[in-house]
A and B are shown apart, each in its own frame.
Chain A
């Protein structure tokens, strides 16, 4: 595709230029609900991606109106939670709207989203997919939220939003993040997401911060349920093999279970080392 800004052909969304704000607002809502004929790059792709692709080629006043329309729709969504039936179409719409807000860098909408998530009664009325969209947007916008918020979120929604809480806590208080894992269900999919998030966050850390994270992980791994312990052990293995060896030395039935789970994931069998061969726990090793 030629760059529409340099082409003599009109851009695919050029019909928005010169339109009034109410018309742009109406068009945006219809578009995000899949009710307009958008110029899709690939058949079936989400509507907001078409808008993001061509928005920069619009006149500046149209771009401003489009951004304001997006803000208005976010506010409307946040202020009317629970009043709209939770259909798949509505979930898709909310996901597209919030994705667009982030892509257009409308970071000021984070205040209405913060207000929404800080009100347990309103937030609990949202269907899971919308909850995920809201929390995911706050995380991607890098909105600071308190460690208490993330811990409460994990306590209330350990299965649905626990990994998001872990991700948020890793950003705010890395040393406390592993505490959140203690309240997550022992689920392979959750453990895999934890592994990804932990890897991504730790790669962006300074060496000294990462070392502290490794120590915090080592201190808690024996208290985790098997799948989560296995994911954490895998991550520790990616950091420095010697640290994994120290973790292996901890005498723990839960750790045996974790290593068994780890080896099942790797299609091999884990044989616990007989007791006399094990190192005894030392004063440096944390125990629950």
Chain B
């Protein structure tokens, strides 16, 4: 990355690495450590970054915007893909996604209350509640998901401590407060007719998300999370993949709320 259009980008990364901003330092280190993108795709991403840097007053913003054109460019997960994957999302965010989904006519606050109802321990989900969750999106744009390497047919969060702090530690969710409420959801990757396309995450998917860490194994078909220090429970890194937004058609109930 020392010739041609990369010179500008390289200089920017050097500046980030030597600077005082933690976010910039980490993102520059991630770019340098990237192993998941094929060389032509990495070149295309950096080329776009170098071009857009010209005239930019905010390189980090430029990086994030350029990355939007380079989503889901990592290795496609080969068959057989994990049968069940899962994601953690803040209660507020999921409620907002529900309220924005077509076919749902409820306010964000009503959706938040609805999610508390359907995650109430010991209560079976009702048909109409399941229909709402299956109709709505489970997230927007690129979705990050995890699974169990040792048993890809099982729900990925059931073996973890059911507390926000533990889930954030394991998934490496650095900016989520320990008292925030998260929804843990699991969903099947096969809906009876087609299989969800999963990809290995890359720096392009991460954008300016500073808690992403490139998995050092270049031939792996998945990424690995970087548990947040100090990790007092000694939680292991979890495998991670990305996919495009989907509805909750294949949700595996129950959803779980952790606080």
Residues of chain A whose beta carbon lies under 8 Å from any beta carbon of chain B: 1, 3, 12, 35-46, 49-50, 52-53, 95, 99, 102, 129, 132, 136-137, 139-140, 160-164, 167, 188-193, 195-197, 199-200, 231, 234, 265-266
Q: Which of B61, B108, B117, B128 is within 8 Å of A265, CB to CB?
A: B128
> Is B159's CB within 8 Å of the partner chain A?
no
Q: Are B61 and A35 in contact (CB under 8 A)?
A: yes
* Bound-complex Cα distance A49 to B132 (A): 23
User: Does B12 sit at the interface, judged by CB under 8 A?
Assistant: no
Q: Can you list 14 pairs linking A and B with CB atoms under 8 Å apart?
A: A1-B176, A41-B175, A44-B142, A45-B89, A49-B90, A49-B93, A99-B108, A132-B99, A136-B99, A140-B107, A189-B103, A192-B129, A195-B128, A197-B110
Query: Is B135's CB within 8 Å of the partner chain A?
Result: yes
Given contacts A42-B93, A44-B139, A49-B93, contact A37 B23 (CB under 8 A): yes
Least CB distance, B241 to chain A, in whole angstroms: 12
Q: Which of A3, A38, A188, A196 has the most CB of B within 10 A?
A: A196
Please give me the residue from chain B that is nearest to A10 by CB atom. B22
Asked if B61 and A167 make an inter-chain contact with CB atoms under 8 angstroms apart, the answer reads: no
**8 extra interchain contacts, Cβ-Cβ under 8 A, other than A140-B109, A190-B105?**
A38-B208, A39-B175, A136-B108, A139-B107, A139-B109, A192-B128, A192-B131, A266-B127
CB-CB under 8 A from B113, the residues of chain A are: 200
Contacts of A167 in B (CB 8 A): 106-107, 110
B105 with A12: CB separation less than 8 A? no
> Please, how many angstroms separate the alpha-carbon atoms of A231 and B88 in the complex?
31
* Contact of B236 with A by CB under 8 A: no
Which chain A residue has the least Cβ–Cβ distance from B228? A1
Q: CB-defined interface of B74-108 with A at 8 Å, one 1/0 digit per residue?
A: 00000000000000111011001001100111111
Within 8 A of A (CB), among B223-247: none
Determine the distance from Cα of A285 to Cα of B113 in the docked complex, in whole angstroms: 34
Which residue on chain B has the smallest CB distance to residue A193?
B105
Chain A residues whose C-beta falls within 8 Å of the C-beta of B139 in the assembled complex = 44
Binding site for A on B (CB under 8 A): 23, 58, 60-61, 63-65, 88-90, 92-93, 96, 99-100, 103-110, 113-114, 117, 127-129, 131-132, 135, 139-144, 168, 173-178, 180, 205-210, 212
Contact A39–B23 (Cβ < 8 Å):
yes
B97 to chain A, nearest CB (A): 8
Residues from chain A with a CB closer than 8 A to the CB of B175 are 1, 12, 39-41, 50, 53
Q: Are B105 and A161 in contact (CB under 8 A)?
A: yes
The distance from the CB of A130 to the nearest CB of chain B, in whole angstroms, is: 11
**A36 in complex: contacting residue of B61, B92, B117, CB < 8 Å:** B61
Task: Report chain B residues within 8 Å CB of A52.
Answer: 92
CB < 8 Å neighbour of A42 from B100, B127, B128, B173: B173
Instruction: Please report the C-alpha to C-alpha distance between residue A190 and residue B132 in the assembled complex, in whole angstroms.
Output: 10
Cβ contacts under 8 Å, A35 to chain B: 61, 65
Q: Give the distance to chain A from B133, nearest Cβ to Cβ, in Å.
A: 10
What are the 7 closest A-B residue pairs judged by CB atoms, nearest first? A163-B105, A136-B107, A41-B176, A41-B175, A37-B60, A189-B103, A140-B109
Q: How far is the CB of B156 from chain A (nearest CB, A)?
A: 15
Q: How far is the CB of B15 from chain A (nearest CB, A)?
A: 15
Q: Is the CB of A43 within 8 A of B180?
A: no
Q: Which residues of chain A come closer than 8 Å to B103, judged between CB atoms?
A: 189
In whole Å, how far is B204's beta carbon from the nearest beta carbon of chain A?
Answer: 12
A167-B107 Cα distance, complex, nearest whole Å:
10
Whether B105 contacts A53 by the Cβ 8 Å rule is no
Given contacts A167-B110, A196-B110, contact A41 B61 (CB under 8 A): no
